[in-house]
């Protein structure tokens, strides 16, 4: 009685597959291609997801940006087209009265020429509070971010971006404690942060204390926009509506006026992107599995042909005492071996492609980042191959055991 571990069993499988090498290879290509597509697409989807998460970083995604525009409706004696300018007090009232808010960050920004020694550049200079670092975490290369003491004393300090550092400083020069000139006022550099593809509003190049910004640029109580972050369990869309309604009440704007205040709901955009990524992963799995199943069916069809060609051989084995389950097990093992071996080759090919993708997808502007597939997914794919190979092998196996020895021996 032959078993899975008998050398004779494997020699017989090898002999069967070797009889028609071309047909065996063509049969395996379908499965190889299926698992190659599955693994390669999953790795690509993971690369997109990793790049997206890298770009998002520590950004509070449950956020909305709100700024003033112009009214679109007359109200309480005010004419249509009245400009709206947000106040610092608006941010305080919104934070106090709107439910579900975690942080409200008032912000201001001007574009200024920045000088250092004989070098200069034009950059966005933002007036900010320390809480901004909780909403959009800065990855510091040197030093620190703005702190409460800087705000309290309106200190003339600056936290600059990597781009500003590379433009105005020598390579490897230590920037902390150095002076830069903004609007004819010297600021001490206290921190340098890495460049990022995600910004909390217009691109940030230099951060100075909010109170310093208000005094230097004579902003008084005015702010450019506010960043509002909801608590994890809060509905950011509802917060957006409530904030706008609160601002309309504060500035005597008609409740139905949709033009007075502009907004950008980062939370909704984030959900759209994550939904797209999830959909892409499902589509990837569907396409890969469909291709894999098609390859497995090809193996079943080829084995049916093989069984027909081996009718006489099977009849002789039956006549010599081979039991039906032994014949059945032999056919199923051939199907599993074909499926598994083809799957391993497909995974190796996909691994080479993933390695190549990671080699060429390098740098901050690359579309993919660290394309990879979890090992458990690879093992699950191989297990799926074994299961499908067993099931598809049952079809030719059942046909083989229905062959009667006498009829098989008469077969020409």
The residue among 154, 164, 152 whose CA lies nearest residue 125 is 164
The Cα 205–Cα 178 span in angstroms is 17
The SS3 call for residue 17 is: helix
375: confidence class by pLDDT, cuts 50, 70, 90: confident
Chain segment 255-295, per-residue pLDDT in tens? 999 999 999 998 888 888 788 878 877 887 788 778 778 77
Q: What b-and-e string marks burial along 293-314, b requiring 16 or more CB atoms within 10 Å of the CB?
A: bebbebbbebbbebbeebbeeb
Model-wide pTM > 0.75: no
pLDDT given at position 400: 65
Largest CA distance in the chain: 106
pLDDT at 173 over 80: yes
**Interval 358-385 mean pLDDT:** 77
For the chain, give every domain's residue range.
7-56+271-410, 70-100+235-259, 102-230
The Cα 304–Cα 59 span in angstroms is 58
Helices (H), 320-367: 324-360
**Interval 244-258 mean pLDDT:** 94
pLDDT given at position 1: 44
Q: Mean pLDDT in the chain? A: 83
């Amino acid at each position: 009685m032959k078993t899975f571990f008998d050398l004779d069993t494997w020699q017989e499988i090898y002999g069967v597959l070797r009889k028609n090498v071309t047909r065996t290879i063509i049969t395996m290509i379908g499965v190889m291609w299926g698992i190659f597509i599955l693994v390669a697409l999953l790795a690509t989807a993971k690369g997109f997801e990793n790049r997206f998460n890298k770009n998002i970083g520590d950004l509070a995604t449950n956020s909305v940006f709100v700024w003033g525009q112009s009214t679109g409706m007359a109200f309480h004696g005010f004419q249509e087209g009245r400009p709206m300018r947000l106040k610092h007090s608006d941010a305080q009232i919104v934070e106090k009265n709107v439910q579900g808010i975690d942080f409200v960050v008032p912000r201001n920004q001007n574009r200024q020429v920045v000088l250092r020694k004989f070098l200069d550049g034009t950059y966005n200079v933002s007036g900010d509070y320390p809480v901004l670092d909780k909403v959009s975490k800065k990855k510091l290369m040197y030093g620190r971010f703005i702190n409460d003491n800087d705000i309290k004393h309106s200190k003339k300090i600056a936290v600059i971006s990597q781009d500003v550092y590379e433009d105005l400083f020598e390579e490897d020069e230590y920037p902390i404690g150095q002076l830069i000139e903004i609007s004819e006022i010297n600021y001490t550099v206290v921190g340098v942060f890495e460049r990022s593809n995600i910004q909390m509003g217009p691109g940030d190049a230099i951060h100075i204390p909010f109170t310093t910004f208000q005094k230097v640029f004579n902003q008084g109580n005015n702010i450019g926009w506010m960043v509002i972050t909801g608590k994890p369990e809060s509905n950011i869309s509802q917060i957006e509506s409530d904030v706008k309604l609160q601002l309309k009440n504060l500035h005597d704007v008609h409740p139905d006026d949709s033009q007075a205040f502009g907004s950008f709901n980062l939370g909704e955009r984030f959900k759209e992107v994550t939904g797209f990524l999830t959909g892409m992963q499902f589509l990837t799995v569907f396409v890969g599995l469909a291709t894999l199943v098609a390859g497995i069916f090809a193996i079943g069809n080829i084995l049916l042909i093989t069984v027909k060609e081996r009718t006489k051989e099977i009849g002789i084995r039956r006549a010599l005492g081979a039991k039906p389950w032994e014949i059945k097990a032999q056919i199923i093992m051939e199907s599993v071996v074909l499926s598994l071996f083809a799957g391993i080759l497909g995974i190796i090919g996909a691994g080479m492609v993933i390695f190549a993708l990671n080699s060429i997808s390098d740098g901050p502007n690359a579309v993919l980042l660290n394309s990879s597939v979890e090992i458990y997914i690879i093992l699950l794919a191989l297990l799926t191959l074994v299961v499908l190979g067993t099931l598809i092998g049952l079809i030719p196996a059942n046909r083989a055991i229905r062959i009667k020895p006498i009829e098989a021996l008469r077969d020409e």
